[in-house]
Amino acid sequence: MKRKHICYNTAILFLTALMILGCGEGIVEVDDSQYQPKIAIEGFLFPHQPVERIYITRNFRVDQNLRQTGILLPNADVTLTDLQSGEVYPLTFDQDEYFFRYTGSDLLIEYGHSYRLDVQATIEGSALQAGAVTTVPEAPLAITGVNYDSLSYYQRDGDGNVLNFDVEFERVNGIDVYLATLIARDAAVETFIYDNSFEEYDEADVLDDLDDLRYEWDWIQNTPPGPGKSDIPIFWYHLWFYGDYEIVIYAPDRNYQDFLRTYDEVQEIDGNFHEPVFHIEGDGIGVFGSAVSDTVHVRVLP
């Protein structure tokens, strides 16, 4: 099983808009009247893997010049506590990668254990603190099979039906949301599928959007919460290149499940707005969670 960073694009940076949304008739009036400085957290723990890629940033006013302000908090005091042993581990800011990590060798993230992240930082003269607890899923996730090792692009069977990759896995007890990320390992202007069935691209378009096209994701929810097998179909609108694809299936903890379900469902029927479910105490927004995962590779042929 491989540890992969759950990429959520730039969602955390835009969560700050939730702090300044208007209410009433569904009209969003964006101004700074309700702005409050917040610590923005994005981080995930994986069993038996190093603690790293804990991103600690800040929110900002709508009219704020980010070139002058910056959103990183390299001087924040960040610790991780093992709630089983009570041991506290200080995290260090990586000046090259812009995230916090634990540099020691005496911390082992375990299945089923709970960990608390605490952050203290000063933003615009205000001393802020935020904390969150994640409980790691209790068992590994295992991919049990994929129906095809390779397919030609938009391949059809003898009856004319389009064939899709389908990844089968053993569910993790208590989890009913599963996330799939896809990485096109051979992504390049030369390997792009220009005669695809969804969008028209020329080489300049592909070059501009290469990173966005390289990474795709999807998720399923409301699976049975107990043991058994489920599957995630991989549709062709996620596959933009010929070549090798790395597919990672994640079973996320409650924190990430709730965030995933609510981050883009923030407007009520009456037009009022609310925050997503963050599970973060104090002066924080974002997500601190954990997950287990497994990986499989497939190939798209011309």
Residue 291's contacts (CB-CB under 8 Å, 6 or more residues apart) are 6, 44, 45, 46, 137, 179, 250, 251, 252, 253, 256
Q: For residue 182, give its domain range.
A: 142-250+295-301
pLDDT at 9 over 90: no
Gap between the Cα atoms of 150 and 122, Å rounded:
52
38-97 pLDDT, tens digit per residue, is 999 999 999 999 999 999 999 888 777 767 678 999 999 999 999 999 999 999 999 999
Residue 301's contacts (CB-CB under 8 Å, 6 or more residues apart) are 150, 151, 152, 153, 242
What token pair was written down for 243? 């070549």
- The whole-number pLDDT of residue 240 equals 98
Same domain, 164 and 128: no
- The whole-number pLDDT of residue 239 equals 98
- The whole-number pLDDT of residue 66 equals 65
- The whole-number pLDDT of residue 262 equals 82
- Smallest Cα–Cα separation from 219: which of 228, 232, 201, 237? 232
CA dihedral 270, 60, 128, 80 (to 10 degrees): 90
- Smallest Cα–Cα separation from 184: which of 124, 230, 225, 241? 241
Q: Which has more pLDDT, 246 or 70? A: 246
Same domain, 200 and 98: no
CATH number where 242 lies: 2.60.40
- The whole-number pLDDT of residue 199 equals 94
Report strand pairing: 55-58 vs 39-45: antiparallel
pLDDT, the chain, mean = 88
Same domain, 67 and 190: no
Gap between the Cα atoms of 28 and 34, Å rounded:
13
211-228 pLDDT, tens digit per residue, is 999 999 999 999 998 889
Same domain, 259 and 113: yes
pLDDT at 260 over 90: no
- The whole-number pLDDT of residue 33 equals 61
99-148 pLDDT, tens digit per residue, is 999 999 999 999 999 999 999 999 999 999 999 999 999 999 999 999 99
265-288 pLDDT, tens digit per residue, is 655 555 555 567 889 999 999 999
Same domain, 241 and 160: yes
> What is the CB-side half-sphere exposure of residue 106 using CA atoms within 13 A?
8
Same domain, 126 and 164: no
- Smallest Cα–Cα separation from 289: which of 115, 173, 120? 115
Same domain, 68 and 168: no
Residue 96's contacts (CB-CB under 8 Å, 6 or more residues apart) are none
Question: Is residue 88 assigned to a domain?
Answer: yes
User: Total domain count for the chain?
Assistant: 2
Question: Is residue 165 assigned to a domain?
Answer: yes
Same domain, 76 and 20: yes
**Segment 252-270 mean pLDDT:** 77
Question: Is residue 2 assigned to a domain?
Answer: no
Residue with tokens 């790691």: 136
What token pair was written down for 200? 């028209």
167-186 pLDDT, tens digit per residue, is 999 999 999 999 999 999 99
Give, for 208, the enclosing helix (H) or strand (E): helix 203-208
Residue 276's contacts (CB-CB under 8 Å, 6 or more residues apart) are 15, 18, 258, 259, 262, 263, 265, 266
CATH number where 64 lies: 2.60.40.3780
DSSP assignment of 162-203 equals: BP-EEEEEEPPTT--EEEEEEEETT-SGGGB-TT-SS----H
Same domain, 33 and 49: yes
- The whole-number pLDDT of residue 26 equals 46
Same domain, 229 and 279: no
Question: Is residue 5 assigned to a domain?
Answer: no
